[in-house]
């Protein structure tokens, strides 16, 4: 399987005698191969998700597959070893190859409410999984005693053995206005998506762009002065 990335689509070239599990089938934008090479099935994700019908597509090679990315999102791949203990948000995983196994684990209710998701998934390798994230993924190395604070909206994956608790940091003004953070200690690395949603900043940026466009139109030489 050879993954590649474009601005809006992730393309997979699936080799003969190989197959790939796509966890978000509705994101499949295009497919080249025989109709019989795609088989959808229900995922068994535990009692908490029994009322939701989660589907996955299993696509056999040789085939080509194009997976659509949400606007502003990035696609990346990650090698998973046989001893990996990384726990991923289900929604961030696009695909994994046949031969790997996926298992689920559940967060305590309080942590799940803060994170906006009850479930994490773990993969047993070796193999390569495809990930989608809001902005590029970066690794944050963990330390056994010095905590790293990660915005709960940004954390994509973390080692199962790490210590993870909800916290805020900084002075009283900082802690009052920041979203919940994961205070993390341990070994290994966490995967963090680099673009944290900020509706206010986006609105201010849009307003600034509009204001500059107006100035370019009404001010002499505005096209030069207000680029």
Q: Is 76 a member of any domain? A: yes
Query: For residue 156, what is the DSSP state?
Result: E
Q: Is 202 a member of any domain? A: no
Look at the block and give the residue holding tokens 């589907």.
55
- Those residues whose C-beta lies under 8 Å from the C-beta of residue 79, and which sit 6 or more positions away, are 125, 126, 127, 128
Give me the number of domains the chain comprises: 1
Low-confidence ranges of the chain (pLDDT < 70): 1-7, 45-53, 110-117, 197-227
Which pLDDT does position 25 carry in this prediction?
95
Which pLDDT does position 219 carry in this prediction?
56
Q: Is 212 a member of any domain? A: no
Q: Is 191 a member of any domain? A: yes
Q: Is 219 a member of any domain? A: no
CA dihedral 143, 161, 155, 71 (to 10 degrees): 130
Q: Is 132 a member of any domain? A: yes
Which pLDDT does position 21 carry in this prediction?
96
The Cα 175–Cα 183 span in angstroms is 13
What is the percent of the chain where pLDDT is above 70? Answer: 76
| Domain span including residue 146 | 2-196
Which pLDDT does position 32 carry in this prediction?
98
Q: Is 125 a member of any domain? A: yes
Q: Strands (DSSP E) along 9-125, which ranges?
A: 9-14, 19-22, 28-32, 38-42, 55-60, 63-68, 73-80, 86-89, 93-97, 101-106, 119-124
Domain of 104, CATH number, reads 3.60.160.10
Q: Is 142 a member of any domain? A: yes
Which pLDDT does position 207 carry in this prediction?
46
């Amino acid at each position: 399987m050879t993954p590649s990335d474009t601005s809006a689509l992730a393309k997979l070239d699936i080799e003969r005698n190989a197959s790939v599990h796509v966890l978000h089938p509705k994101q499949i934008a295009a497919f080249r191969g025989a109709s019989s090479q795609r088989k959808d099935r229900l995922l068994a994700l535990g009692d908490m998700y029994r009322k939701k019908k989660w589907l996955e597509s299993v696509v056999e090679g040789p085939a080509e597959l194009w997976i659509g990315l949400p606007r502003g999102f990035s696609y990346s791949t990650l090698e998973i070893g046989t001893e990996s203990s990384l726990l991923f948000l289900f929604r961030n995983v696009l695909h994994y190859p046949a031969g790997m196994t996926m298992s689920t684990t559940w967060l305590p209710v309080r942590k799940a409410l803060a994170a906006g998701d009850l479930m994490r998934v773990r993969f047993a390798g070796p193999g390569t999984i495809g990930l989608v994230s809001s902005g590029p993924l970066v690794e944050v190395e963990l330390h056994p005693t010095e905590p790293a604070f990660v915005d709960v909206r940004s954390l994509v994956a973390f080692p199962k053995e790490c210590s993870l608790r909800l916290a805020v940091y900084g002075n009283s003004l900082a802690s009052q206005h920041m979203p919940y953070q994961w205070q993390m200690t341990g070994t290994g690395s966490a995967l963090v998506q680099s673009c944290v949603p900020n509706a206010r900043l986006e609105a201010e940026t849009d307003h600034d762009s509009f204001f500059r466009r107006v100035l370019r139109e009404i001010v002499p030489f505005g096209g030069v002065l207000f680029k």
